[in-house]
Amino acid sequence: MSTDAVRAMVEDFETKVPLFQDYVDKVGDLVAELLDENDIKVHSIESRVKDKQSLESKLLRPGSNYSALDHVTDLCGVRIITHFADDVYEIAQVIESEFSIDESNSVDKNVQLDPD
Protein backbone atom coordinates (compact mmCIF):
# COMPACT_ATOMS: atom_id res chain seq x y z
CA MET A 1 0.00 0.00 0.00
CA SER A 2 1.40 3.40 -0.92
CA THR A 3 2.29 5.96 1.72
CA ASP A 4 -0.17 8.41 0.15
CA ALA A 5 -3.01 5.87 0.38
CA VAL A 6 -2.17 5.19 4.03
CA ARG A 7 -2.05 8.91 4.76
CA ALA A 8 -5.46 9.42 3.12
CA MET A 9 -7.01 6.57 5.12
CA VAL A 10 -5.54 7.85 8.38
CA GLU A 11 -6.87 11.35 7.64
CA ASP A 12 -10.29 9.86 6.88
CA PHE A 13 -10.10 7.96 10.18
CA GLU A 14 -9.19 11.10 12.13
CA THR A 15 -12.27 12.93 10.85
CA LYS A 16 -14.47 10.00 11.91
CA VAL A 17 -13.04 9.38 15.40
CA PRO A 18 -15.95 11.16 17.15
CA LEU A 19 -18.42 8.98 15.23
CA PHE A 20 -16.46 5.83 16.12
CA GLN A 21 -16.30 6.91 19.77
CA ASP A 22 -20.07 7.43 19.91
CA TYR A 23 -20.57 4.05 18.27
CA VAL A 24 -18.29 2.10 20.59
CA ASP A 25 -19.74 3.83 23.66
CA LYS A 26 -23.24 2.74 22.62
CA VAL A 27 -22.11 -0.82 21.87
CA GLY A 28 -20.39 -0.98 25.27
CA ASP A 29 -23.58 0.24 26.95
CA LEU A 30 -25.65 -2.29 24.99
CA VAL A 31 -23.33 -5.14 25.98
CA ALA A 32 -23.55 -4.08 29.64
CA GLU A 33 -27.35 -4.02 29.39
CA LEU A 34 -27.48 -7.45 27.74
CA LEU A 35 -25.24 -8.97 30.39
CA ASP A 36 -27.31 -7.38 33.14
CA GLU A 37 -30.54 -8.73 31.59
CA ASN A 38 -28.95 -12.20 31.57
CA ASP A 39 -27.78 -11.79 35.18
CA ILE A 40 -24.12 -12.14 34.19
CA LYS A 41 -21.75 -10.26 36.49
CA VAL A 42 -18.40 -9.17 35.07
CA HIS A 43 -15.34 -7.42 36.41
CA SER A 44 -15.39 -4.69 33.76
CA ILE A 45 -16.41 -3.71 30.26
CA GLU A 46 -13.99 -1.49 28.35
CA SER A 47 -14.49 0.08 24.95
CA ARG A 48 -11.97 1.76 22.73
CA VAL A 49 -11.34 3.29 19.33
CA LYS A 50 -8.10 2.22 17.66
CA ASP A 51 -5.48 4.93 18.00
CA LYS A 52 -4.05 6.68 14.97
CA GLN A 53 -0.54 5.23 15.30
CA SER A 54 -1.87 1.68 15.60
CA LEU A 55 -4.01 2.12 12.50
CA GLU A 56 -1.12 3.58 10.54
CA SER A 57 1.15 0.71 11.61
CA LYS A 58 -1.49 -1.84 10.59
CA LEU A 59 -1.93 -0.24 7.18
CA LEU A 60 1.83 -0.16 6.57
CA ARG A 61 2.41 -3.85 7.43
CA PRO A 62 3.70 -6.02 4.61
CA GLY A 63 0.79 -7.76 2.94
CA SER A 64 -1.73 -5.17 4.08
CA ASN A 65 -4.31 -4.86 1.31
CA TYR A 66 -6.95 -2.52 2.68
CA SER A 67 -8.36 -0.37 -0.08
CA ALA A 68 -10.65 1.73 2.14
CA LEU A 69 -11.11 2.56 5.80
CA ASP A 70 -14.39 0.61 5.74
CA HIS A 71 -12.40 -2.60 5.16
CA VAL A 72 -10.50 -2.32 8.46
CA THR A 73 -12.46 -4.52 10.85
CA ASP A 74 -11.03 -3.54 14.23
CA LEU A 75 -11.42 0.22 14.43
CA CYS A 76 -13.57 -0.15 17.54
CA GLY A 77 -13.54 -2.80 20.22
CA VAL A 78 -15.25 -3.84 23.43
CA ARG A 79 -13.39 -5.93 26.00
CA ILE A 80 -15.26 -7.83 28.70
CA ILE A 81 -13.20 -8.96 31.68
CA THR A 82 -14.82 -11.74 33.69
CA HIS A 83 -14.31 -12.97 37.22
CA PHE A 84 -14.40 -16.62 36.19
CA ALA A 85 -13.31 -18.44 33.03
CA ASP A 86 -16.66 -20.23 32.77
CA ASP A 87 -18.40 -16.86 32.36
CA VAL A 88 -16.68 -16.41 29.00
CA TYR A 89 -18.81 -19.10 27.38
CA GLU A 90 -22.03 -17.67 28.79
CA ILE A 91 -21.09 -14.19 27.56
CA ALA A 92 -20.15 -15.56 24.15
CA GLN A 93 -23.62 -17.09 23.85
CA VAL A 94 -25.25 -13.74 24.62
CA ILE A 95 -23.02 -11.90 22.14
CA GLU A 96 -23.61 -14.50 19.43
CA SER A 97 -27.38 -14.36 19.92
CA GLU A 98 -27.56 -10.57 19.73
CA PHE A 99 -24.91 -9.63 17.14
CA SER A 100 -23.84 -10.82 13.71
CA ILE A 101 -20.36 -12.28 14.09
CA ASP A 102 -17.80 -11.85 11.31
CA GLU A 103 -16.18 -15.26 11.84
CA SER A 104 -13.55 -14.76 9.12
CA ASN A 105 -12.15 -11.73 10.94
CA SER A 106 -12.64 -13.00 14.50
CA VAL A 107 -10.14 -14.63 16.82
CA ASP A 108 -11.10 -16.78 19.78
CA LYS A 109 -8.63 -15.52 22.39
CA ASN A 110 -9.75 -18.28 24.73
CA VAL A 111 -8.11 -20.77 22.37
CA GLN A 112 -4.92 -18.71 22.06
CA LEU A 113 -4.44 -17.73 25.70
CA ASP A 114 -4.22 -19.68 28.89
CA PRO A 115 -6.73 -17.94 31.19
CA ASP A 116 -5.34 -17.05 34.60
Q: What is the pLDDT of residues 24-65, one digit of tens each?
A: 999 999 999 999 999 999 999 999 999 999 999 999 999 888
* 23: exposed, middle or buried (Cβ count in 10 Å: 0-12, 13-18, 19+): middle
Can you give the CATH number for the domain in which 89 is found?
3.30.460.10
Containing structural domain, residue 63: 3-112
Number of domains composing the chain = 1
pTM over 0.85: no
Q: What is the pLDDT of residues 66-84, one digit of tens each?
A: 989 999 989 999 999 999 9
Handedness of CA 95, 97, 99, 101 (dihedral sign): positive
Q: Is the Cβ–Cβ distance between 13 and 55 less than 8 Å? A: yes
